[in-house]
Amino acid sequence: MVDKSLFRLALREDKEKFADYFKIILTDLYKSPRKKGGTNKEKKGFVDGFMHAGIIIGLVEMEELETLIGQVHLKVFGKTLEERKALIKSAQLSKNVLDIPTFYRQKKDLKIEQKF
Protein backbone atom coordinates (compact mmCIF):
# COMPACT_ATOMS: atom_id res chain seq x y z
CA MET A 1 0.00 0.00 0.00
CA VAL A 2 1.27 3.47 -0.93
CA ASP A 3 1.81 5.97 1.87
CA LYS A 4 -0.36 9.00 1.01
CA SER A 5 1.84 11.35 3.03
CA LEU A 6 4.83 10.54 0.79
CA PHE A 7 2.70 11.20 -2.26
CA ARG A 8 1.58 14.58 -0.86
CA LEU A 9 5.18 15.47 -0.02
CA ALA A 10 6.36 14.65 -3.54
CA LEU A 11 3.48 16.63 -5.04
CA ARG A 12 4.25 19.64 -2.83
CA GLU A 13 7.93 19.52 -3.84
CA ASP A 14 6.96 19.35 -7.53
CA LYS A 15 4.56 22.24 -7.07
CA GLU A 16 7.26 24.34 -5.39
CA LYS A 17 9.75 23.56 -8.18
CA PHE A 18 7.12 24.51 -10.75
CA ALA A 19 6.38 27.80 -8.98
CA ASP A 20 10.08 28.65 -8.61
CA TYR A 21 10.81 27.99 -12.27
CA PHE A 22 7.66 29.83 -13.34
CA LYS A 23 8.83 32.92 -11.44
CA ILE A 24 12.21 32.72 -13.18
CA ILE A 25 10.83 32.47 -16.72
CA LEU A 26 8.19 35.13 -16.06
CA THR A 27 10.80 37.51 -14.67
CA ASP A 28 12.91 36.87 -17.76
CA LEU A 29 9.91 37.68 -19.98
CA TYR A 30 9.16 40.89 -18.10
CA LYS A 31 12.78 42.05 -18.19
CA SER A 32 13.43 41.16 -21.83
CA PRO A 33 13.62 44.05 -24.29
CA ARG A 34 10.33 44.56 -26.05
CA LYS A 35 9.99 45.00 -29.74
CA LYS A 36 8.20 48.13 -30.88
CA GLY A 37 4.68 48.03 -29.47
CA GLY A 38 4.76 44.42 -28.37
CA THR A 39 6.36 41.66 -26.39
CA ASN A 40 8.84 38.92 -27.11
CA LYS A 41 6.44 36.44 -28.73
CA GLU A 42 8.74 33.44 -28.35
CA LYS A 43 9.22 33.94 -24.60
CA LYS A 44 5.55 34.75 -24.09
CA GLY A 45 4.60 31.56 -25.93
CA PHE A 46 6.94 29.55 -23.71
CA VAL A 47 5.45 31.06 -20.54
CA ASP A 48 1.91 30.42 -21.81
CA GLY A 49 2.78 26.80 -22.63
CA PHE A 50 4.44 26.31 -19.25
CA MET A 51 1.33 27.62 -17.49
CA HIS A 52 -0.95 25.41 -19.56
CA ALA A 53 1.19 22.34 -18.85
CA GLY A 54 1.10 23.02 -15.10
CA ILE A 55 -2.67 23.23 -15.19
CA ILE A 56 -3.08 20.13 -17.37
CA ILE A 57 -0.92 17.90 -15.15
CA GLY A 58 -2.63 19.23 -12.04
CA LEU A 59 0.28 21.00 -10.38
CA VAL A 60 -1.41 24.39 -10.23
CA GLU A 61 -4.74 26.11 -10.63
CA MET A 62 -5.24 29.29 -12.63
CA GLU A 63 -5.84 31.26 -9.42
CA GLU A 64 -2.41 30.21 -8.10
CA LEU A 65 -0.79 31.28 -11.37
CA GLU A 66 -2.54 34.65 -11.19
CA THR A 67 -1.16 35.15 -7.68
CA LEU A 68 2.37 34.29 -8.85
CA ILE A 69 2.03 36.61 -11.85
CA GLY A 70 0.96 39.45 -9.54
CA GLN A 71 3.92 38.85 -7.23
CA VAL A 72 6.47 38.78 -10.07
CA HIS A 73 4.92 41.80 -11.77
CA LEU A 74 5.11 43.84 -8.56
CA LYS A 75 8.71 42.77 -8.01
CA VAL A 76 9.85 43.62 -11.56
CA PHE A 77 7.84 46.77 -12.27
CA GLY A 78 7.19 48.08 -8.75
CA LYS A 79 3.49 48.35 -9.58
CA THR A 80 0.55 45.97 -9.49
CA LEU A 81 -0.92 44.80 -12.77
CA GLU A 82 -3.93 47.06 -12.26
CA GLU A 83 -1.76 50.11 -11.55
CA ARG A 84 0.39 49.48 -14.60
CA LYS A 85 -2.62 48.88 -16.88
CA ALA A 86 -4.15 52.17 -15.70
CA LEU A 87 -0.86 53.98 -16.34
CA ILE A 88 -0.57 52.51 -19.84
CA LYS A 89 -4.20 53.34 -20.58
CA SER A 90 -3.77 56.95 -19.46
CA ALA A 91 -0.65 57.25 -21.62
CA GLN A 92 -2.56 55.93 -24.62
CA LEU A 93 -5.39 58.38 -24.00
CA SER A 94 -2.97 61.28 -24.11
CA LYS A 95 -1.21 60.42 -27.37
CA ASN A 96 -0.22 64.01 -27.93
CA VAL A 97 1.40 64.40 -24.52
CA LEU A 98 4.85 64.71 -26.10
CA ASP A 99 3.64 67.66 -28.15
CA ILE A 100 3.35 69.60 -24.90
CA PRO A 101 6.66 71.19 -23.85
CA THR A 102 8.41 69.37 -20.99
CA PHE A 103 8.61 72.41 -18.73
CA TYR A 104 4.84 72.78 -19.01
CA ARG A 105 4.08 69.06 -18.45
CA GLN A 106 6.32 69.00 -15.39
CA LYS A 107 4.94 72.34 -14.19
CA LYS A 108 8.35 73.99 -13.98
CA ASP A 109 9.01 77.68 -14.21
CA LEU A 110 10.78 78.82 -17.31
CA LYS A 111 13.25 81.58 -16.68
CA ILE A 112 14.51 83.42 -19.69
CA GLU A 113 17.47 85.67 -19.33
CA GLN A 114 17.67 88.45 -21.81
CA LYS A 115 21.10 89.72 -22.68
CA PHE A 116 21.31 92.80 -24.84
Which helix H or strand E contains 93, and what residues bound it? helix 81-93
For residue 2, name the pLDDT band (cuts at 50, 70, 90).
low
Q: Is residue 103 predicted with pLDDT exceeding 80?
A: no
Average pLDDT over residues 1-25: 82
Give the model confidence (pLDDT) of 31-60 as tens digits: 988 766 566 888 999 999 999 999 999 999
Q: pLDDT value at position 29?
A: 93
Q: Is 58 left (phi over 0), alpha (psi -120 to 50) or beta?
A: left
The C-alpha angle with vertex 39 and arms to 67 and 57, in degrees rounded to 5, equals: 45
In 3D space, the residue among 28, 5, 23 whose CA is nearest the CA of residue 60 turns out to be 23
